[in-house]
Amino acid sequence: MDTIKQLNKFTKTVLIIGLALILYGYLCRLIGLYFFWESKSVGWVLLFFGLIGFLLNRIKIKTTENRKTLFEKIGIGFIIFILVVNTILSVVIPFTDAYLAAKTYLINDANLETELGNITEFGLIPTGGIQKTIDSNGEYGSATINLTVIGDKKFKDITIYVVKNANNPEWKVEEIE
């Protein structure tokens, strides 16, 4: 409890806003509020920055007490690694052929249009993973893309699986959850 009292206002504010945005992100999905669904992703980023501030504060306190700070430094390194990887993926994924194939499929999916209305846009922060291999047989791979689909009536979080075979030059949607 003393550690929290010793945090500076900025770190406390970032932690509180991060937690509030995460809570709002889950609640808006639960009660069907279709506004700012990206709050969950933004909240997690702010929470991680707040945790870095918290750990830096612990390092400052422990240093004045001549105590070891290895675990705090490892924690900061781990959080920074997660943030860097997440940022890279969020920037790279929208420019991939797999994402374009998934997006095109979702825009043309009649079942999704019936459920959500006319699809107007996609969430700002897609996540997931893409694996591609090139060998003598050609290029093949698979991708799992998580994104928010925004329609006239509703929003929906969707996980879409796309694959590319060596004998087919196009990414193909395999499954939607």
Domain locations in the chain? 2-92, 96-176
Tokens linked to 72:
């705090």
Q: Is the dihedral of CA 108, 124, 27, 130 positive or negative?
A: positive
Predicted local distance difference test score (pLDDT) of residue 1: 57
Give bridge partners of residue 141 from the DSSP assignment. Answer: 132, 164
> Tens of pLDDT along 115-174?
998 898 898 888 888 898 888 877 889 999 999 999 888 999 999 999 998 778 889 999
> Tens of pLDDT along 61-106?
899 999 999 999 999 999 999 999 989 988 888 898 999 999 999 9
Tokens linked to 167:
């004998």
